[in-house]
Structure 1
């Protein structure tokens, strides 16, 4: 059984009936979100050694939390079964222990947590609300955290408040999206000729490393063009394989990574860039005429990525975003996990470079 299904049943069979008796009429939302491979449907037997099992997050209004949350957590700990469908409900070596804070409460002995939505947003994104988010804030959100927040499942949602919050974070506003597309093409533009240049001087390892970096850039561009948040590195390939755009790209990327000689490697990557451009034109976003050819007078196959950058940048209407240097959003300038997972550091970094 997948973790999402296990937790959905845990809420329906155990938590909800108990909640109806412990706090009759309590208006709440219930979901599983925030962390865990099961949120993306990638959990398997290996996933069960930590951060896996029957668990549910209950969301209530701040005034309700103040009145009921601690009592509910204590009461559930006394009556909760030791397991559900053969799986223990306690924390098993989880690096994410149950939340406890001014508006978050949980216990080690079971998988129930009580939160306010406001506390979840503050801890996950360093924001108090999803209303009127600024472009600067959007640029400081890590895609892997946006994905974790908007994936998973809601099991119950009185007033649809949780649903509205998740919908507002469903994807980047258009101008932020155009900016990220421009910056992703810029990343490709910066290194695409180096696969050949490193290979030309006999540095085959260096050529392969650069090719792998560019393959990753192609994959992340695929997520952008599909308007999907990219997961962190462990599940990047698995998530990419699910995208429609992956089908024409995968043969080229595999060839690039397996090629024994740099000319074959660079040509396979160039074919992948061309597929990206065709896809971008087909969806009617920042269209440009793609051209493959030598890098100036050097014999390295490249695409006219500068034209792609210019086309995406020209689509931006927001004045503030339009004047930004073509550097990138948070996860385009760093893939350092402690930075991407710390929302305050994330926002501070982007404030410093924009």
Structure 2
């Protein structure tokens, strides 16, 4: 059984009837969001060694949280079954402990947690509301965290606030998206000729490393063109395989990774760039005429990436975004986990784009 299905049943069969009995007037939302392989449907038997199991997040208004959340956590500890559908409900403590904070409450005895929506947003994104988000805030949100918040499942939503918040975070505003596309092509432009140059001087290992970096950049561009958030590295390939653009790309990417010749590597990557260009033109965003050929006067196969950088950048209408250096959003600048996971640090770092 997948974790989402297990947790949905836990709420429906155990938590909801209990809440109806002990707090029948309590308006709440119930969901499983925030972290865990089960949110993306990638959980398996290995996933059961940490945080996997029957668990539910209950969201309350701030007044209701203050009045009853901790009491309800304690009361549920006394009546909760030891297991549900054969799975123990006690907390599996790596890497996330039970919720415990000003507006978060949980217990190691079970997977039922109480939160305010504002506190969860603050922890995930360093904001307490998604109303009127500015472009800089969007650029400081890690895609893997946006994916974790908008994936999973909502089991119940009395006032629709949780669902509305998730809808607002479903994907980047258009100008932020175009900026990220421009920056992703810039990443490709910076290194695409180096596969051949390193190979030409006999540095086969260096050529392979650069090719692998470019394969990752192509994959992340695929997520952008399909308007999907990219998961973190463990699930990047699994998530990529679900994208419509994944059908034509893998043969080229596999060839780039497996080839023993640098010329074949760069040829495979050029074919992948062309597939990206076809998709970009097909969706009618920042269209450009892809041209594959030598890198200036050097015998390295590249695509005219600078032209698509310019096409995407020219399509941006927001004057503030347009004046930014073509550097990238948070996870285009760094993939360091502590940075991506610390929302306040993420926002502080990206704020330097505006300095």
**TM-score normalised to the size of structure 1?**
0.99
| In 2, Cα distance between equivalents of 1:253 and 1:51 | 34
Residue 93 of structure 1, CA deviation: 3.3
| In 1, Cα distance between equivalents of 2:303 and 2:141 | 30
Q: For residue 11 of structure 1, what is the aligned residue in structure 2? A: 11
Q: For residue 105 of structure 2, what is the aligned residue in structure 1? A: 105
Q: For residue 167 of structure 1, what is the aligned residue in structure 2? A: 167
C-alpha contact 2:324 2:353 (8 A) present in aligned 1: no
| In 2, Cα distance between equivalents of 1:305 and 1:190 | 9
| In 2, Cα distance between equivalents of 1:99 and 1:146 | 20
Superposed CA offset, 1:11-66 (max 9, x none) = 00000000001101211000000000000000001001111000000001001101
Q: For residue 216 of structure 2, what is the aligned residue in structure 1? A: 216
Structure 1 residues 108-257: aligned runs within 5 Å: 108-257=108-257
| In 2, Cα distance between equivalents of 1:334 and 1:29 | 34
| In 2, Cα distance between equivalents of 1:242 and 1:125 | 26
| In 1, Cα distance between equivalents of 2:140 and 2:211 | 27
C-alpha contact 2:103 2:116 (8 A) present in aligned 1: yes
Q: For residue 280 of structure 1, what is the aligned residue in structure 2? A: 280
Superposed CA offset, 1:251-291 (max 9, x none) = 10001000010000000000000100010000000000000
Q: For residue 338 of structure 1, what is the aligned residue in structure 2? A: 338
| In 1, Cα distance between equivalents of 2:349 and 2:200 | 37
SS of the counterpart of 1:113?
strand
| In 2, Cα distance between equivalents of 1:28 and 1:206 | 55
* Dislocated runs of 4+, deviation >2 Å: none
SS of the counterpart of 2:154?
strand
Residue 88 of structure 1, CA deviation: 0.4
Superposed CA offset, 1:133-184 (max 9, x none) = 0000000000000000000000000121100000000000000000000000
| In 2, Cα distance between equivalents of 1:271 and 1:25 | 60
SS of the counterpart of 2:288?
coil
SS of the counterpart of 1:30?
strand
Residue 128 of structure 1, CA deviation: 1.1
| In 1, Cα distance between equivalents of 2:322 and 2:152 | 34
Alignment: residue pair count: 354
Moved more, 20-29 or 325-334: 20-29
| In 2, Cα distance between equivalents of 1:182 and 1:94 | 38
| In 1, Cα distance between equivalents of 2:293 and 2:152 | 44
Structure 1 residues 34-45: aligned runs within 5 Å: 34-45=34-45
SS of the counterpart of 2:218?
helix
Q: For residue 306 of structure 1, what is the aligned residue in structure 2? A: 306
Residue 201 of structure 1, CA deviation: 0.4
Q: Does 1:32 align with 2:67?
A: no
Residue 353 of structure 1, CA deviation: 3.0
**TM-score normalised to the size of structure 2?**
0.99
| In 1, Cα distance between equivalents of 2:353 and 2:203 | 34
SS of the counterpart of 1:95?
coil
| In 2, Cα distance between equivalents of 1:352 and 1:264 | 40
Alignment gaps of 5+ in structure 2? none
SS of the counterpart of 1:313?
helix
Residue 298 of structure 1, CA deviation: 0.5
C-alpha contact 2:325 2:353 (8 A) present in aligned 1: no
| In 1, Cα distance between equivalents of 2:175 and 2:280 | 16
| In 1, Cα distance between equivalents of 2:103 and 2:233 | 31
Q: For residue 353 of structure 1, what is the aligned residue in structure 2? A: 353
| In 2, Cα distance between equivalents of 1:292 and 1:237 | 26
Alignment gaps of 5+ in structure 1? none
